[in-house]
Amino acid sequence: MTNKTSAVDIFIVGGGMVGSALAARLAPSGMRIALLENRAPTPYDPASAPDLRVSALSPASIHFLEQAQAWFAIAAMRSAPFRRMQVWENRRDQGTLFDAAEVDAQWLGHIVENRLVQLACLEVLQHHENVTVLCPDEVSQISYQPGGSRISLKSGQAFEAKLLIGADGANSQVRKAAGIALDSRQYPMHALVATVNIEGGERDITWQRFTPDGPQSLLPLPGNHASLVWYHRPSEVRRLLTLEDDALLDAFRVHFPAALPEITGLVQKGSFAITRSHATSYARQGVALIGDAAHTIHPLAGQGVNLGFQDATVLSELLLNAWQDKKPVEALTLLKEYERKRKLANHAMQRVMDAFSYGFSNDIAPLRIARNLGLRLANHDGPLKREVIRYALGLKTLSLSIALNLFPK
């Protein structure tokens, strides 16, 4: 017996933060949408400690989540707003403080657990009959066709989609099915990530210090929790993860800035390899890539999912306009317009993160002088500092020409 094939306008593979938010933003239009996610997120439990995977969301990302009708539910679960960002260049300097008030903004962003963003977006989709959420289910085969792709699932269901969207993360199956190549590079560092308990100190601020081994950061979470990230050589991260909890806490206390709140306990820990990757194209007739499926970036400045939400913002606007004007959503001109608006901007941000990672993660004298000078310049109130804050807010997109001028190869 053959299973029935359902026809949809848009099939999104990957219901992580970016894919589920895109579906939620498009849902009220009435398009027939299917969203496939292979791992069902565990429901929210207010008594649980925060997850290991958290993201610093910019106001621009939060605005997109508001448009997707999901932000209210995220805020009602839990999130930690921050108004200031303290950055140190080494163990001795005074540091540079970026404050939202300098650009008349209320806050610089919110730290949110990735799973809660996903849960809130999936919840929005429950209210739309035109959206089919397939979770948990998995792809058994994707047959990309410019005139309409066919997606067969392990459950036996099959779909034909005018437009196939890959929001399926760094190892995107959609990207492979569409024959789009990937440029990728592994950084010589891993991220040790830990949820810790903290006591004392201020909570509306994030801390980051650049050391020759790699950046270190602490992001306050609701309650007495914080997310700690320590970038280091892969072998050192592996060694740190073999330590008993008390010994690892001692290592945090010794190696992290003394100005941080006291780190009193370890809730959970893990590590991530750090890769920069960029798809050579974001779109072909009938297929588009967004979020980590299109690009991954060094997370030291917490930009990855913010770039993904910018992709989703641009693509959703183009799709909603086309739908309203009764134009085909799968048209190559529309999808290339999306690529044109996002690919260079994402590339520019990758270049800047490369420069930060390289420039701050070694002790070569001219670089040390240059970065000290840079942070000192940024420490003075003025246009440069306000520009940096606007980028952090997601109010501005970094243009490639600025990135290339600031950080020539």
According to the binding rule CB under 6 A, does residue 51 interact with ligand FAD? no
- Nearest-approach distance from CB 227 to ligand FAD, in angstroms: 8
Element (H, E) at 366: helix 365-379
Residues 286-305: x where in contact with ligand FAD by CB under 6 A, - otherwise, as a string: -----xx------x--xxxx
Q: Which of residues 57-86 bind ligand FAD (CB under 6 A)?
A: none
Q: Where are the alpha helices (DSSP H) in 206-329?
A: 234-242, 245-255, 304-324
According to the binding rule CB under 6 A, does residue 166 interact with ligand FAD? no
Among 44, 107, 272, 356, binds ligand FAD (CB under 6 A): 272
* CA distance to 49, 207, 396, per residue, from 87 (Å): 27, 6, 21
According to the binding rule CB under 6 A, does residue 185 interact with ligand FAD? no
Question: Which lies closer to ligand FAD via its Cβ, residue 334 or residue 392?
Answer: 392
* CA distance to 131, 153, 220, 245, 270, per residue, from 197 (Å): 40, 42, 10, 12, 16
- Nearest-approach distance from CB 204 to ligand FAD, in angstroms: 16
Question: Which lies closer to ligand FAD via its Cβ, residue 282 or residue 372?
Answer: 282
Question: Which lies closer to ligand FAD via its Cβ, residue 60 or residue 331?
Answer: 60
| Residue 250 CB coordination number (10 Å) | 13
According to the binding rule CB under 6 A, does residue 277 interact with ligand FAD? no
| Residue 236 CB coordination number (10 Å) | 16
| Residue 29 CB coordination number (10 Å) | 17
Q: Which of residues 217-256 bind ligand FAD (CB under 6 A)?
A: 229
- Span near ligand FAD by CB under 6 A; candidates 99-107, 165-173, 241-249, 276-284: 165-173
Q: Which of residues 102-161 bind ligand FAD (CB under 6 A)?
A: 114, 138-139
According to the binding rule CB under 6 A, does residue 19 interact with ligand FAD? yes
Q: Which of residues 344-403 bind ligand FAD (CB under 6 A)?
A: none
Query: Residue type at 220?
Result: P
* CA distance to 79, 148, 213, 270, 367, per residue, from 372 (Å): 33, 54, 16, 31, 8
Element (H, E) at 133: strand 131-134
Question: Which lies closer to ligand FAD via its Cβ, residue 55 or residue 405?
Answer: 55
Question: Which lies closer to ligand FAD via its Cβ, residue 356 or residue 367?
Answer: 356
Distance CA 250, CA 139 (A): 45
Distance CA 147, CA 170 (A): 26
The residue whose two tokens read 């892969």 is 234
Closest CA to 383 of 113, 102, 69: 102
- Span near ligand FAD by CB under 6 A; candidates 13-21, 85-93, 344-352, 353-361: 13-21
- Span near ligand FAD by CB under 6 A; candidates 143-151, 167-175, 379-387, 396-404: 167-175
Question: Which lies closer to ligand FAD via its Cβ, residue 14 or residue 220?
Answer: 14
Distance CA 208, CA 227 (A): 12
Which residues of this chain interact with ligand FAD, rule CB under 6 A? Answer: 13-19, 36-39, 55-56, 114, 138-139, 167-169, 173, 191, 193, 229, 272, 291-292, 299, 302-306, 308
